[in-house]
Amino acid sequence: MRIKNFIILTTAIYLCGSCSSEDTISNSNQQSQETPTNNYTDAQLIEMVQKDALKYFWDYAESGSKLARERYHTDNPSQDANIVTTGGSGFGLMTILVGIKNGYISRAEAVSRLTTSLNFLQNANRFHGAWPHWINGTNGQVVPFSQKDNGGDLVETSFLAQGLICVREYFKNSSDASELAISQKADALWKGIEWNWYTQNPAAPNMLTWHWSPNYDWQMNMPLRGFDETLITYVMAAASPNYSIDKPVYQQGWARSGSIKNTGSQFGLPVVVNHNGANGTVGPMFWSHYSFLGLDPRGLSDEYVNYGDATTNHAKIMYQYCVANPKGWQGYNSKSWGLTASYSRNPNTGGDDYAAHQPNNDLGIISPTAALSSMPYTPAESMNMLRFLYNENYNKYVGVAGPYDAYSVHYNWVTPRYLAIDQGTIAPMVENYKSQFLWQLFMNAPDVKQGLIKLGFHSTQYGF
């Protein structure tokens, strides 16, 4: 979820309901409500949380498209069941690949579902190749995210493209006709995105812009500059064989002509990059997750930044901030930590709100995905959080699709709700910690490697 979401959703929270599914994921370790504490091993915990996160995209997928619903509310599961989220669906594609790899779902059933999903995307509304943020799962029509956000959303599209590349690579050498067709369809969908169209905003020349609308043109006017979640948008745009951008677009946009660099530190750790609006500290954790489900930051650098350092230190600084707990919130400690954009507690009503939690917007709310999806960066600290959730507080903080979106010990508050983009980073990033599965799929894709080289990247992991 993004700052854009924060602006809009703090005033209007859209509800989303359930959909039926004949295929469900079994979890042999599913808890009864009577079990207060558990003693699962780390290996059991990792399997449980990956299976649980997968359920969001399998058991609770949008019924027609089989793509990801924007949200699922266990306290109101029947409302707005057909709002498909483009970026969350990209994360869902990668989560399903993890499920296939680990044997959590049958390959044949997954192939059937992926075929349905890619056919839906082929026929859905597109705007110079980019999908909108939200799509009606019943007919493929755009659902406006706001009045002027009713066209192409290039950032959400890039999250989906990251997933499409992984799907393509996973099935590309298959001898099965259905699997090979999925690979070819994913490739065609990705190649149809007109990235360079989104450099034409007259208010932000020679950089990518987030939105374009056939009704409102460039009026949303949100140019993409780092550091935030949009690195993958520039990488995908450079990698495009048909609609590529040139290196100066990346340098002037994402890298801010070098001013993306930050020489300061927090808790004795270099911050490395200027996090947008964070005033010298770090932003919400999702900035180091969304682009890096496929993009491997280890040993990855351009002429300005080492992204392995930037992402790892982001997570370590977030952990140290929560342990230091300068605002004195109850429940912040070495096993209950992590701030990111998520549901939040409305301070006036005590009900649900939405906020981009970070050190300079710390509201006493912990979002489990922040720590769990940081497992490649902070394995020990993230495992502490996983044990806290599943061994110590299962009945309180874990539900039908894994850890709930957010909680506050201080306010004795938990939301029984889920967001696709928060659940969708958990299984992929845990798998990257375990096996580097998605990192290897994505980084070894020839067009991705070519795009990274075009932008001046080097990778010690992948030899370029």
pLDDT one-digit tens code per residue, 274-331? 999 998 999 999 999 999 999 999 999 999 999 999 999 999 999 999 999 999 999 9
| Residue 231 pLDDT level (bands cut at 50, 70, 90) | very high
Question: Which runs of E-coded beta strand occur in 307-377?
Answer: 341-345, 352-356
The verdict on whether omega for the bond into residue 120 sits within 30 degrees of 0, i.e. cis, is no
Whose tokens are 């600084």? That residue is 317
What number is the average pLDDT over the span 404-411? 98
What number is the average pLDDT over the span 250-255? 98
Lowest mean pLDDT among 3-17, 33-47, 84-98, 153-167: 3-17
- Rounded CA-CA distance 226/274 in Å is 7
- Rounded CA-CA distance 251/410 in Å is 43
Whose tokens are 């700052």? That residue is 3
What number is the average pLDDT over the span 201-220? 97
Do 396 and 35 touch, CB atoms closer than 8 A?
A: no
Do 272 and 306 touch, CB atoms closer than 8 A?
A: yes
Whose tokens are 């980073």? That residue is 425
Per-residue confidence (pLDDT) for residue 447, from 0 to 100: 98
Mean pLDDT of the chain: 93
Strand 352-356 to strand 341-345: parallel, antiparallel, or no bridges (unpaired)? Answer: antiparallel
249, pLDDT greater than 80? yes
255, pLDDT greater than 90? yes
Sequence-separated (6 or more) residues with CB below 8 Å from residue 37? 391, 392
2, pLDDT greater than 70? no
99, pLDDT greater than 70? yes
Per-residue confidence (pLDDT) for residue 22, from 0 to 100: 38
Sequence-separated (6 or more) residues with CB below 8 Å from residue 296? 432, 436, 439, 440, 442, 443, 459, 461, 462
Per-residue confidence (pLDDT) for residue 80, from 0 to 100: 80
50, pLDDT greater than 80? yes
Q: How far apart are the first and last CA of the chain?
A: 32
Per-residue confidence (pLDDT) for residue 28, from 0 to 100: 46
Amino acid of residue 455:
L
% residues pLDDT > 70 (the chain): 92
422, pLDDT greater than 50? yes
Per-residue model confidence as pLDDT tens digits over 343-394: 999 998 887 899 999 999 999 999 999 999 999 999 999 999 999 999 999 9
Nearest alpha carbon to residue 389 among 411, 361, 360, 409: 409
Per-residue model confidence as pLDDT tens digits over 149-183: 999 999 999 999 999 999 999 999 999 999 999 99
The token pair at 337 is 């930590």
- In the DSSP assignment, the letter for residue 99 is H
